[in-house]
């Protein structure tokens, strides 16, 4: 039996459990502690570890709520930054994190009263529309269509270190059948690693803003998705719907995406609680 210390945080409602302890079978542990009925409850489990190279500050591994390992999370890395800063990693203003999607740099906004990170901005790296890099089994990432239960969807695929299918709508995504159709779009055979699915529309009456709901691969519908917001902003910009600085309205709040040679993602971080569990197979023990 192992004592597992978990730090629960959320970034615009996208919640994670950050763990500093070495975990055997992290896929099994993630699925069980993330369970919202039988575990602690979260969208994913993040392992905070040593950097892959000496010039980094720390590393990040992410396991979705179903136990599958994911490459990257823009909201998750901001949650990790809160814990890493409290542990003294980095120089207090910036954190260099090695992830499965590559190295990421995080600028920290620290509350002077509490000394804790209250927001962070992540250099998420460049977006790709190259099918092989997403990965996507199609000649082009643009103008993809899919039909499910007589509903036709159209959008573009994009890669942010993980795959995305961004569906562009005229109507606000509140009317989209995210939970009904998202599970089927996630496993579209053109995406060999499955895909996250974003439902977006330009925000009415507001320039350079989009509304978004997301079905996350291996999780389900979440209140926010950082990589999804970046992919959605990039697709909307390419289509001429927004400029280079985009506010992405998600059910959990607002994210700011700055487009360029790389994409920067900014938003808040909120610490919820810390807990220690005695686990052997990943199930909390009383």
Query: Which pLDDT does position 286 carry in this prediction?
Result: 41
Lowest mean pLDDT among 191-195, 269-273, 282-286: 282-286
Q: What is the DSSP letter of 78?
A: H
- Rounded mean pLDDT, 243-260: 98
pLDDT over 90 (residue 282): no
User: Which residue is associated with the tokens 């994190």?
Assistant: 97
Mean pLDDT in residue range 34-39: 94
Q: What pLDDT was estimated at residue 283?
A: 54
- Between 54 and 189, the more confident residue is 189
Q: What is the DSSP letter of 133?
A: G
State the pLDDT at residue 279. Answer: 72
Q: In sequence order, which ranges of the chain are alpha helices (DSSP H)?
A: 26-33, 74-86, 178-186, 226-238
Q: How many whole angstroms separate alpha carbon 219 and alpha carbon 65?
A: 5
**276 has pLDDT over 70:** yes
CB-based contact 44:16 (threshold 8 Å) = yes
The secondary structure of residue 34, as a DSSP letter, is T
* Average pLDDT for 98-127: 96
Tokens 């203003």: give the residue.
Answer: 93
The label of the residue with tokens 């905070």 reads: 48
Predicted TM-score of the model (pTM)? 0.92
Q: What are the E-state strand segments in the chain?
A: 2-11, 14-19, 44-49, 58-64, 69-70, 94-99, 102-110, 117-123, 144-148, 151-159, 163-168, 196-202, 209-216, 220-222, 245-250, 253-258, 264-268, 270-279
Intrachain domains 2-123+268-279 and 131-261 with the same fold: yes
Tokens read off for 94: 């910036």
Is the per-residue pLDDT at 32 higher than 80?
Answer: yes
**What pLDDT score was predicted for residue 2?**
75
Q: Is the pLDDT of residue 1 over 70?
A: no
- Share the mean pLDDT of the chain: 95
How many angstroms separate the Cα of 193 from the Cα of each of 127, 164, 196?
17, 10, 10
202 Cα distance to chain centroid:
21
Reported as type and span, the H/E element at residue 199 is strand 196-202
Q: Cα angle vertex 263, ends 99, 177, to 5°?
A: 90
Q: 58 falls in which pLDDT band (50, 70, 90)?
A: very high
- φ/ψ of residue 187, rounded to 5: -105, 20
Q: Is the pLDDT of residue 170 over 70?
A: yes
% the chain with pLDDT above 90: 92
* Domain positions in the chain: 2-123+268-279, 131-261
Mean pLDDT computed over 254-282: 91
CATH number for 131-261: choose from 3.40.50.1000, 3.40.50.1220, 3.20.20.20, 3.10.310.10. 3.10.310.10
Residues in Cβ contact with 86 at an 8 Å cutoff, skipping those fewer than 6 apart: 116, 117
Domain spanning 2-123+268-279: CATH superfamily:
Diaminopimelate Epimerase; Chain A, domain 1 (3.10.310.10)
pLDDT at 284 over 70: no
């Amino acid at each position: 039996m192992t004592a597992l210390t978990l730090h629960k945080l959320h970034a615009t409602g996208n919640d994670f459990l950050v763990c500093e302890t070495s975990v055997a079978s992290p896929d099994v542990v993630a699925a069980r502690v993330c369970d919202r009925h039988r575990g602690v409850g979260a969208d994913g489990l993040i392992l905070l570890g040593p950097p892959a190279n000496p010039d980094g500050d720390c590393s990040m591994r992410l396991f979705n709520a179903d136990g599958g390992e994911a490459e990257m999370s823009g909201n998750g890395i901001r949650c990790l930054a809160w814990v890493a800063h409290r542990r003294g990693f980095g120089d207090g203003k910036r954190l260099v994190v090695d992830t499965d999607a590559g190295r990421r740099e995080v600028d920290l906004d620290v509350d002077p009263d509490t000394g804790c990170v209250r927001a962070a901005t992540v250099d998420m790296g460049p977006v790709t529309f190259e099918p092989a890099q997403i990965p996507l089994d199609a000649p082009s990432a643009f103008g993809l269509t899919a039909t499910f239960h007589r509903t036709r969807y159209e959008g573009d695929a994009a890669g942010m270190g993980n795959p995305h299918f961004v569906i562009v709508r005229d109507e606000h995504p509140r009317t989209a059948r995210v939970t009904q159709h998202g599970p089927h779009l996630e496993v579209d055979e053109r995406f060999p690693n499955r895909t996250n699915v974003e439902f977006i529309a330009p925000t009415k009456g507001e320039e350079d803003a989009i509304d978004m709901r997301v079905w996350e691969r291996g999780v389900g519908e979440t209140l926010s998705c950082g990589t999804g917001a970046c992919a959605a902003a990039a697709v909307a910009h390419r289509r001429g719907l927004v400029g280079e600085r985009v506010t992405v309205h998600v059910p959990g709040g607002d994210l700011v995406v700055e487009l360029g040679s790389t994409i920067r993602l900014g938003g808040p971080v909120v610490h919820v609680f810390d807990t220690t569990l005695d686990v052997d197979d990943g199930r909390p023990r009383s």
